[in-house]
Amino acid sequence: MTKGIIYFLVIVLANTVGAISGMGGGVIIKPVLDFIAADPVAAVSFYSSVAVFVMAITSTLRQLKGGMTIQWKLVVWVAGGAVLGGFLGNYTFDFLLAYFSDETVVKLVQIALTIITLLFALFYNHFNFRKFHLTGKNWYFICGLILGFLASLLGIGGGPINVSLLILMFGIPIKEATIYSICTIFFSQLAKFVTMVFYTGFDRYDLTMLFYVIPAAIIGGFVGAKVSQSISSKRVAQIFEAVILLVLLINLYNGFRLFL
C-alpha cells in the first residue's frame, strides 16, 4: 500500500471523528503520521494542518446547512484571536526547528504539550469542573489567541483543548462548543498558511500528497458533521473522551520511541 493511500485512509477516519467531537482530525492525524514516520516533522505538521483546514470548511458548511445557529459575535472575536495565535504559533514552530539542530527535540516538545492539553481536556470533561460563563469580546479574543497558538504550534488543528476551553470559559453545551471549535480551527490554520506564504513557502513539501490529503479531509468533514447532527450530546462527550484516551496512548508511545 502506497504512502498516499495510507495517508488518505488515516485522514478520512481521523477527520470523521474530529468533526463529530470538535477536536479536528489533527489531534489524531499528527501522532499517527509521526508513528508511520514516512515524512519529517515539518511535512507531517503541514499535511495535518491542510487536512484539518479543509475539514473545518466542509464541516462548518454542513452544520450551517443543517440549521445550526451560531453566535457570530463569539465566532468573529474568537477567530480574530485565533488568527493572531496562528501567526505566533507558526513563528514559534519555525523558530524551534531553526534553533534545535535535531528535529527530534521539536517532536518531543509537540508531544509533551499535546499530552498536557489532552490530560486537561480529559479531566475537565469527565469531572465536569466549574464553568465561568464569561462574556465580552476581550474574553473571546483571549480564548481564540490561546487556541490558535496551540493549534498552529502543535500541528493538530486545535484538538481537544478547543472544546474544553470553550466550555470552561463560556459555559456553552458540548455540541455547540464543537461547532465553535471547528470555526476556530479554520481561522488558526488559515493564519498558519498565510504565514507560510510570506516566510517559508511550500518548496520543502511534496505537494503531490495533497491529492490524497484534500479529498480525504472533505470526506471526513462531511461524514463527521452528518453524524454529529444525529447523535446526542452525551454520545458526543463519550466519543470525545474515547478519542482523547486513544491519542494519549499514541503520543506516549511516540514519545517513548524517540528515546529508544
Model pLDDT for residues 81-94, shown as the tens digit of each residue: 988 988 898 899 99
Per-residue model confidence (pLDDT) at position 145: 92
Which amino acid, 35?
F
CB 220, CB 19: distance < 8 Å: yes
Say how far residue 62 (Cα) sits from the centre of its chain. Answer: 18
CB 46, CB 203: distance < 8 Å: no
Cell of 21: 467531537
Q: CA torsion 230→218→57→186, rounded to 10°?
A: 110
CB 190, CB 83: distance < 8 Å: yes
Q: Which of 18, 10, 62, 13 is nearest to 239 (CA)?
A: 18
CB 61, CB 224: distance < 8 Å: no
Say how far residue 20 (Cα) sits from the centre of its chain. Answer: 13
pLDDT digits (tens, 9 = 90+) for 176-225: 888 888 888 788 788 888 888 888 788 889 999 999 999 999 998 888 88
How far is Cα 256 from Cα 260, in angstroms, rounded to an integer? 7
Predicted TM-score (pTM) above 0.75: yes
Q: Which of 25, 29, 23, 155 is nearest to 90 (CA)?
A: 155
How far is Cα 185 from Cα 191, in angstroms, rounded to an integer? 10
Per-residue model confidence (pLDDT) at position 169: 92
How far is Cα 55 from Cα 63, in angstroms, rounded to an integer? 12
Q: Find cell 454529529 and name the residue.
A: 228
CB 104, CB 258: distance < 8 Å: yes
Per-residue model confidence (pLDDT) at position 229: 78
Q: What are the backbone angles phi and psi of residue 39, rounded to the nearest 5°?
A: -140, 160
> Is the confidence at residue 60, as pLDDT, over 80?
no
Q: Which of 205, 180, 181, 211 is nearest to 193 (CA)?
A: 205
Per-residue model confidence (pLDDT) at position 207: 92
pLDDT digits (tens, 9 = 90+) for 163-190: 888 988 998 888 788 888 888 878 878 8
How far is Cα 188 from Cα 124, in angstroms, rounded to an integer? 23
Count CB neighbours of 53 within 10 A. 24
Q: Find cell 528515546 and name the residue.
A: 259
DSSP 232: -
Q: Which residues contact 149 (CB under 8 A, 6 or more apart)?
A: 85, 86, 88, 89, 92
Q: Residue 149, exposed/middle/buried by CB under 10 A (0-12, 13-18, 19+)?
A: buried
